[in-house]
């Protein structure tokens, strides 16, 4: 009778089972948890930045802002002057968001093995704060691989 398994096949099977058991041990210990930064959740300073930016841009570039500024300041000329001065910073904030999105998704995320779509959205919504957050993160460890 000849055995179905050769010594080499037994060694390979033992290595494979050992890797599976090591992975299961790590999973039970919590080492293979999903990275919370890879969720599309805007939190902390990025959330505050996005709210303030949205309100500022809406007021500076909105159609009803002329009447609101005139009501608050008491004259049409003062309201128009205020809004004309607020338009440049509003466009700058929009540009910062676009640049942050491009830098986060095109430069930082691929170098750190992170999801480019998630970080493009976070960069656009959270602006430069999201890019700084991504820059401070380490390289993403993938599941099932030894790093």
Contact criterion met (CB below 8 Å) for 126 and 99: no
More confident of the two residues 91 and 64: 91
The count of residues in the chain is 147
pLDDT above 80: residue 121: yes
**Packing angle, helices 116-126 and 76-103, rounded to 10:** 160
Mean pLDDT of 135-139: 81
pLDDT above 70: residue 124: yes
Instruction: Quote the pTM value.
Output: 0.67
Tokens, residue 91: 């466009």
**pLDDT grade for 101, boundaries at 50, 70 and 90:** very high
Tokens, residue 15: 């290595």
List the chain domain ranges: 40-136
Within the chain, residue ranges assigned H as helices are: 7-29, 45-61, 65-73, 76-103, 109-111, 116-126, 128-136
Convert the pLDDT of each residue in 6-23 to its tens digit.
Answer: 778 888 888 999 888 887
* Confidence at residue 8, expressed as pLDDT on a 0 to 100 scale: 84
């Amino acid at each position: 009778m000849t055995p179905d398994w050769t010594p080499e096949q037994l060694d390979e099977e033992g290595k494979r089972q050992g890797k599976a058991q090591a992975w299961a041990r790590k999973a039970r210990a919590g080492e293979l948890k999903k990275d919370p930064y890879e969720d599309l959740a805007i939190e902390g300073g990025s959330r505050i930045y996005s709210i303030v930016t949205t309100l500022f841009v809406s007021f500076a570039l909105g159609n009803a802002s002329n009447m609101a500024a005139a009501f608050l300041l008491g004259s049409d000329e003062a309201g128009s002057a205020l809004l004309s001065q607020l338009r440049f910073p509003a466009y700058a904030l929009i540009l910062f968001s676009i640049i942050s999105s491009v830098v986060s998704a095109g430069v930082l995320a691929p170098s750190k093995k992170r999801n480019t779509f998630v970080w493009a959205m976070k960069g656009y919504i959270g602006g430069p704060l999201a890019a700084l957050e991504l820059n401070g993160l380490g390289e993403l460890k993938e599941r099932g691989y030894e790093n």
